[in-house]
Amino acid sequence: MGITGLIPFLKAASRPVNVREYSGCTVAVDAYCWLHKGAIACAEKLVRGDETDVYVNYCVKYIDMLLSHNVKPILVFDGRHLPAKAETEKFRRERRNNNKRKAADLLRQDRPDEARNVMKACIDITPEMAYSLIKRCREMCVDCIVAPYEADAQLAYLNLAGFAHIVITEDSDLLLFGCERVISKKFLKGFSSTFKVQRGECSAQKPLPLTSQIVISNCIYSYFILSQQVLFKLDLVGNGLLIEQSKLHLAMKVHPDKFSMDKFRHMCILSGCDYLNSLPGIGLSKACKFIKRTAETNISRALTKMGAHLNMANLVVSPEYREKFLVADSMFKHQPVFDPTARKVIPMTPLSEGEQGPGLEQLPADISYQLALGNLDPFTLEKFDDWDPDCNKMVGRQRINIIKNPNFHSRSSLYFSIDT
């Protein structure tokens, strides 16, 4: 879901780039994005419950593409659902089931084309499907990490902690987690006519289909690739649009000295995010106006005066809303992630003295939980101290010494027990 309207809002902070420049980088990939697209190609089989590996092969094409660009992928998978999202998940499950019934009805009425369309709407990426991809990745010696909770937070952590220079995702939330630069496909629309196919004979006359975003050394880039059909004939091409954190003030129309990531994150949460719906009548514009007008640095106190700042006499900011706001804020800062070096679950950024965490249940501290997640596989992770923009390379590369787990192949069934 992300932040509604965020990408167009950030147009002033963006510019087009090409992915070929990032050979030699490590990318953390939101595996769900690929799985979902791959699943569409075999929606009918999945809904019927037939065996298929079409979605795995689809993901492998992307992995191969990255490897061919000398880009090392780390696939990141969603872990357990956040308790706060239980209602949303229930709603989605019911909608999928309704669509399944609808598809069955259409088939009975001999309307297969319509049925196929409805089937695409009941696609659910199951842990079993994710595990099929993980198994294939192991065969290919591609690293996989299952996030304790959301892949987004794990992707941002891998990026900020120096394990991955690039994150591939389709969710603009990555910016709120603190990544410095983001590229999104929505922006591409206005620029697409200027994109040319870099390799191959034809040039793009219409907007090219866009697949992903990548984060490079705290920068997220979105890059798009020609559709599969064209891809086979033309090879892969990656162009995208970059959104830079250093330019976010331009989108908010504030002086750089007056800008902070706290303000940006608070604005986004106010406009409505995955963890908290917005107050009636509040979207990005009003949220931005309020954040710029308030001089109060304590956001909870500032919120009590939001109605006055926006001349909205009817705007009620209840104590409950303010409480939920702080939890949402904490979720973007301190959501639990897996530290592959220490091999344990840690907050994305450390909690300062007396600071409240997002209030998530305590995960098992012992190694069994990570074993169940599949996070004790032999990693080939490397850590980077810094990114040198001048030579476009990472410096201070260090290989992490990770002990191989001898039980690596014997615990596949454990994976399925975690997502309850």
Q: SS3 for 102?
A: helix
Residue 121 as a binder of DNA (CB under 7 A): the answer is yes
Identify which range of 16-24, 185-193, 247-255, 294-302 contacts DNA by CB under 7 A.
Answer: 185-193
Residue 172 as a binder of DNA (CB under 7 A): the answer is yes
Whether 207 contacts 221, CB under 8 Å:
no
Whether 221 contacts 215, CB under 8 Å:
yes
Residue 254 as a binder of DNA (CB under 7 A): the answer is no
Binding mask 362-391 for DNA (x = CB under 7 A): ------------------------------
Binding mask 130-169 for DNA (x = CB under 7 A): ----------------------------------------
Q: Which of 181, 265, 266, 286 binds DNA (CB under 7 A)?
A: 286
Q: SS3 for 167?
A: strand
Q: Which of 10, 47, 179, 282 binds DNA (CB under 7 A)?
A: 282
Which DSSP state fits 196?
Answer: -
Closest CA to 379 of 137, 130, 213, 60: 137
Q: Which of 48, 90, 189, 404 binds DNA (CB under 7 A)?
A: 189
Partnered with residue 222 across adjacent β-strands are: 213
Q: Which of 82, 269, 284, 394 binds DNA (CB under 7 A)?
A: 284
C-beta of 146 vs 208, nearer to DNA: 208
Least Å distance, CB 208 to DNA, is 8
Residue 95 as a binder of DNA (CB under 7 A): the answer is yes
Whether 184 contacts 221, CB under 8 Å:
no
Residue 366 in tokens: 């012992």
Q: Which of 120, 138, 322, 324 binds DNA (CB under 7 A)?
A: 120
Whether 293 contacts 281, CB under 8 Å:
no
Per the listing, tokens 């989108």 go with 251
Residues 6+ apart with CB under 8 A from 257: none
Q: Which of 24, 127, 200, 209 binds DNA (CB under 7 A)?
A: 209
DSSP E strand boundaries for 112-219: 143-146, 166-168, 181-182, 210-215
* Contacts of DNA in 3-62 (CB under 7 A): 4-5, 7-8, 36-38, 40-41, 54, 58
Residue 238 as a binder of DNA (CB under 7 A): the answer is no
Residue 190 in tokens: 């206005």
Residue 170 as a binder of DNA (CB under 7 A): the answer is yes
Residues 63-73 as b or e (16 or more Cβ within 10 Å = b): bebbeebebbb
Residue 229 as a binder of DNA (CB under 7 A): the answer is yes
The Cα–Cα gap between 330 and 358 comes to 5
Q: Which of 154, 192, 211, 330 binds DNA (CB under 7 A)?
A: 211
Chain-centroid distance, C-alpha 386: 23
Closest CA to 158 of 379, 337, 419: 337
Site residues for DNA per CB under 7 A: 1-2, 4-5, 7-8, 36-38, 40-41, 54, 58, 92, 95-96, 120-121, 123-124, 170-172, 185-186, 189, 209, 211, 227-229, 272, 278-287
